[in-house]
Amino acid sequence: MKHQTFIRRIFVCLIGLSLISCGPDKKSSTTDDDSKPEYGGTLIYAKNGPPISLDPAATKETESSVIVASIFDGLVEQQAGKAAINPALAKSWNISKDGLTYTFNLRTGVTFHDGTPFNADAVLFSFNRQKDPKHPGYTTRDAFEYWKNFDMDKVVRTIAAVNDSTVEFKLSKPDATFLNLLTINFAAIVSPEAVKKYKNDFYKNPVGTGAFKFSSWNDDGSVVCAAFENFMNGRPYADTLVFKPIPDGHQRWLELKAGTVNMMSTPGQADLAEIENTSGVKMAKQHGINVAYLAMNMSKKPFTDLRVRQAIVYAINREQLVKEVYGQLGRPAKNPIPPVLLGYNEEIRFTPYNPEKSKELLKEAGFPNGFKTKLLSLPIVREYMPNGQLTAEFIQKELKAVGIEVEIVSYEWKEVLARRERGDHELALAGWVGDAPDPHFFFFPLLDKVNAKNVGSTNAASYKSEEMHNLIEKGKITFEPVERSNVYKKACEVFNKDLPWFTIAHSVSIVPMRDNVMDFVLHSSSVRKFDKVWLKK
CA gap 406, 393 in Å, rounded: 9
Q: What is the pLDDT of residues 472-521, one digit of tens each?
A: 999 999 999 999 999 999 999 999 999 999 999 999 888 999 999 999 99
Distance CA 501, CA 450 (A): 18
| 75 is a domain residue | yes
Residue pLDDT, tens place only, 423-463: 999 999 999 988 888 999 999 999 999 988 766 689 999 99
Q: Per-residue pLDDT for 141 more than 80? A: no
pLDDT of residue 2: 39
Q: Which residues contact 250 (CB under 8 A, 6 or more apart)?
A: 268, 270, 271
Which CATH number goes with the domain that contains 57? 3.40.190.10
- pLDDT one-digit tens code per residue, 373-389: 999 999 988 889 989 99
CB 52 within 8 A of CB 185: no
Q: Is the pLDDT of residue 11 over 50?
A: no
Q: At 236, give phi and psi (nearest 5°).
A: -65, 160
Q: Which one has a higher pLDDT value, 262 or 288? A: 262
Domain range spanning residue 459? Answer: 290-509
pLDDT at 17: 40
**Same-domain check for residues 60 and 130:** yes
**Percentage of the residues of the chain whose pLDDT score is greater than 70:** 92
Same domain, 311 and 425: yes
Weakest mean pLDDT among 116-120, 216-220, 521-525: 521-525
Residue 217 — very low, low, confident or very high, per pLDDT cuts 50/70/90? Answer: very high
Residue 336 contacts residue 442 (beta carbons within 8 Å): yes
Question: What whole-number distance in Å separates Cα of residue 473 and Cα of residue 462?
Answer: 18
Tell whether 230 and 303 lie within a shared domain.
no
Q: Do 249 and 390 share a domain, yes or no?
A: no
103 lies in the same domain as 220: yes
Strand partners, 355: none
Long-range Cβ pairs for the range 223-231 (8 Å, 24+): 223/51, 223/54, 223/67, 225/67, 225/70, 225/71, 228/113, 230/111, 231/531
Tally of domains in the chain: 2
Query: Are 115 and 186 members of one domain?
Result: yes
Neighbours of 102 (CB within 10 A): 25
Is pLDDT above 50 for 297? yes
Looking at residue 33, what is its pLDDT?
A: 58
Q: What CATH number is attached to the domain comprising 352?
A: 3.10.105.10
Give the sheet arrangement for strand 90-95, strand by strand. Answer: 90-95, 101-106, 166-171, 156-163
Q: Is residue 37 part of a domain?
A: yes
Give the model confidence (pLDDT) of 171-207 as tens digits. Answer: 999 999 999 999 999 999 999 999 999 999 999 999 9
Query: What pLDDT score was predicted for residue 54?
Result: 96
Cα angle 393-397-403, degrees, rounded to a multiple of 5: 135
- 508 Cβ partners below 8 Å, 6+ apart? 20, 285, 286, 287, 288, 328, 329, 330
Relative to beta strand 76-78, strand 427-433 is unpaired
Q: Is the residue at 495 inside a domain?
A: yes
Same domain, 349 and 295: yes
- Residue 213's pLDDT is 98
The answer, yes or no, to whether residue 31 has pLDDT greater than 60, is no
Both 364 and 503 in a single domain?
yes
What pLDDT does residue 23 have? 31
Compute the distance between CA of residue 505 and CA of residue 107 in angstroms, rounded to an integer.
41
Q: Is the domain of 200 the same as that of 59?
A: yes
User: What pLDDT band is residue 81 in, cutting at 50, 70 and 90?
Assistant: low
Strands (DSSP E) found in 258-350: 263-264, 281-287, 290-296, 330-332
Write the CB contacts of 24 (distance below 8 Å, at least 6 apart in sequence). Answer: none
Burial environment of residue 152 by CB neighbours within 10 A (0 to 12, 13 to 18, 19 or more): middle
User: What residues form DSSP beta bridges with 101?
Assistant: 170
Cα 190 to Cα 127: distance, rounded to the nearest angstrom:
9
- Sign for the pseudo-dihedral over CA of 78, 225, 124, 451: negative
Q: Is residue 268, in this structure, part of any structural domain at all? A: no
| Closest to 406 (Cα-Cα) out of 378, 426, 387 | 426
| Helix axis angle, 466-476 to 481-498, nearest 10° | 160
- Of 297, 218, 224, 258, the closest CA to residue 71 belongs to 224
273 part of a folded domain:
no
Q: Assign 146 a pLDDT band (cuts: 50, 70, 90).
A: confident
Distance CA 338, CA 345 (A): 10
DSSP 85-111: EEESSEEEEEE-TTS-EEEEEE-SS-B
Cβ(449)–Cβ(464) below 8 Å = yes
524 within domain boundaries: yes
pLDDT of residue 266: 84
- Flag whether 35 is in a domain: yes
pLDDT score of 168 more than 70: yes
Asked whether residue 193 is domain-assigned, the answer is: yes
Say yes or no: 408 and 473 in one domain. yes
State whether 91 and 188 are in the same domain.
Answer: yes
- Name which of 81-85, 323-327, 367-371, 448-452 the model is least confident about: 81-85
Check whether residue 331 and residue 206 sit in a common domain.
no
Average pLDDT, the chain: 90
Calculate mean pLDDT across residues 69-97.
Answer: 91
Which pLDDT score is estimated for 241? Answer: 98
Give pLDDT, residue 454.
64
Task: Give the pLDDT confidence score for residue 357 in this predicted structure.
Answer: 98
